[in-house]
A = this chain, B = another copy of it.
Amino acid sequence: MNLPLGYRYSALYAGIRKAAKPDLALIVSDAPASAAAVYTTNLVQAAPVRLSRTHLQETGGIARAVIVNAGNANCATRTGARVALSTAKAAAKALKCKAAEVLPSSTGVIGVELNPALITNALPALVEGLAPERFLDAADAILTTDLVRKVAYAETGGIRVAGMTKGSGMIHPGMATTLAYVMTDAIVPPAELRKHLKSAVNRSYNRLSVDGDMSTNDTLLVLANGASGKKVNKAAFQAALDEVCQSLAQQIARDGEGATRFVEIDVSGARDEAAAAKIARAIANSPLVKTAIAGSDPNWGRILCAAGYSGAAFEPAQVDIYLQGVKVCRKGLAAQYNEAALTKKLNEKDCLIRFVIGGEGRGTARFWTCDLTHGYIDINGSYRT
């Protein structure tokens, strides 16, 4: 897969997290790039989220670099704002650009002071290590409880899009979720890039849930540096951006904390898209549905029940539910099916729930989540130790 032109990446271990694996990543665009971002809607926001937003406002949507640390969220700390600012300033100095052109991000534990010297001391080596082909090194350095690397690529009309993301817990659709960085070498002005991003997020990261918790640090950032020298038509660019964002979102669900199953929920026949999304979200967030899937139990009653409290209006007697393509509920009642054959299908790694409302409604929505298992409890019962 071809990476977008005009970007360089670097990563190293700066000693921020306990485990000695890379925890500091740098993404640099050789030329000033159009930049657009969406952030957590949590009232409690980490210092780098606030600074990143301020920087984008100051520059009118232009950025040169992104610096990300894992292992400490730099949130709810005395020195948070100062650490985020000194990080951006030090990176700007090393890269010979303005501090406002550097966008900082952090992820990790909340409420523990982040020592800024760990970052500033590491900066010379980090900048030294910048190289166009080190995309995957940067993608690895932003991971926390993730078990696998999450990247996605698209190419259309001679422009390229590449994205990296992290996250497997504290995932809930409420705006962006988790950290994600998408680079493209297309020519896209900042205002246009913001529209494309908003549209892409609504059908990718806002359709994703692992546990219903929303982070204080969520950031999804897109950079467009125009290094390809090409401007493709809007629909083509949107399709490429959607493809990358949806792939990244799905990879997060697939790597959900403790997950053994990837779950896609397809709702159709709802009054409108908003109603369909409400139903899909309630099903995706139901711990009872998620534990049933972990146990390969075709407990469609819980799916119907979750839809019932979603807040969306529908007629229960018009609902068909399919698990792995097998109709388990017909017009709101138990359907006839071969239980042994279905259980075998439910043991597969991917689970598809289709919730079909009969009638005239044209609202559809797709949503991604994972099952709820012992692994989630293990990971989160002792996260800080």
Contact = CB atoms under 8 A, between A and B. Distances in A.
Interface of A: 41-45, 73, 75-78, 109-113, 169-170, 172, 174, 211-216, 285-288, 291-292, 294-295, 297, 299-302, 304-310, 313-314, 316, 329, 332-334, 372-374, 376-377, 380-385
A236 B46 CA distance: 49
B110 A301 contact: yes
How many copies of the polypeptide does the oligomer hold?
Answer: 2
A308 B42 contact: yes
Given A377-B372, A377-B373, A42 B305 contact: yes
B380 A295 contact: yes
Given A43-B313, A297-B383, 19 more contacts: A42-B308, A43-B310, A76-B316, A76-B333, A77-B333, A110-B302, A111-B304, A111-B329, A211-B287, A213-B288, A213-B305, A216-B305, A216-B308, A288-B380, A292-B383, A295-B380, A372-B377, A373-B377, A374-B374
10 contacts: A41-B309, A77-B334, A110-B299, A110-B302, A111-B329, A212-B286, A291-B376, A292-B381, A299-B384, A374-B374
Contacts of A76: 301, 304, 316, 329, 332-334
Contacts of A381: 291-292, 294-295, 297
Contacts of A215: 305
Q: Is the interface of A mostly helix, strand, loop or mixed?
A: loop
A290 to B, nearest CB: 9
A304 to B, nearest CB: 6
B212 A285 contact: yes
Given A213-B305, A305-B110, A383-B299, A288 B170 contact: yes
A110 B292 CA distance: 13
A377 B216 contact: no
B380 A309 contact: no
Contacts of A73: 301
User: A-B pairs with the 5 shortest C-beta distances?
Assistant: A110-B301, A295-B381, A44-B308, A291-B380, A43-B308
B377 A309 contact: no
Contacts of A78: 333
B316 A43 contact: yes
Given A332-B76, A382-B297, A309 B42 contact: yes
A329 B169 CA distance: 23
Given A76-B316, A213-B306, A376 B287 contact: yes
A277 to B, nearest CB: 16
B333 A301 contact: no
B301 A334 contact: no
A288 B333 contact: no
A183 to B, nearest CB: 29
A303 to B, nearest CB: 10
Contacts of A374: 374, 377
Contacts of A288: 169-170, 211, 213, 380
